[in-house]
Amino acid sequence: MPGKILNIKVAPGQAVKYGETVVVMEAMKMETEIVAPADGTVAQVLVKSGDSVDTGAALVTLG
């Protein structure tokens, strides 16, 4: 869904678990937490806070 990135909770190289919040975004004046779909390590963070993103945009890649 389209919205604005509010907060990035992870940095490249960080290990994350399934269900852990990686990015907080705002859409429809509501904060939505984007969680990791699987266990892994953050490879790249592709957005920064304040960015507007569209449907389907990649935010973070997991290695």
Binding footprint of other proteins on the chain (CB under 8 A): 1, 19, 27-30, 32-33, 35, 37, 55-56
CA atoms 39, 45, 54, 56: torsion sign: negative
Looking at the Cβ atoms of 21 and 51, the one nearer to other proteins is 21
Looking at the Cβ atoms of 34 and 46, the one nearer to other proteins is 34
| C-beta of residue 40 within 8 angstroms of C-beta of residue 16 | yes
The nearest distance, CB 28 to other proteins, in angstroms, is 4
Residue type, 17: K
The nearest distance, CB 54 to other proteins, in angstroms, is 10
| C-beta of residue 22 within 8 angstroms of C-beta of residue 8 | yes
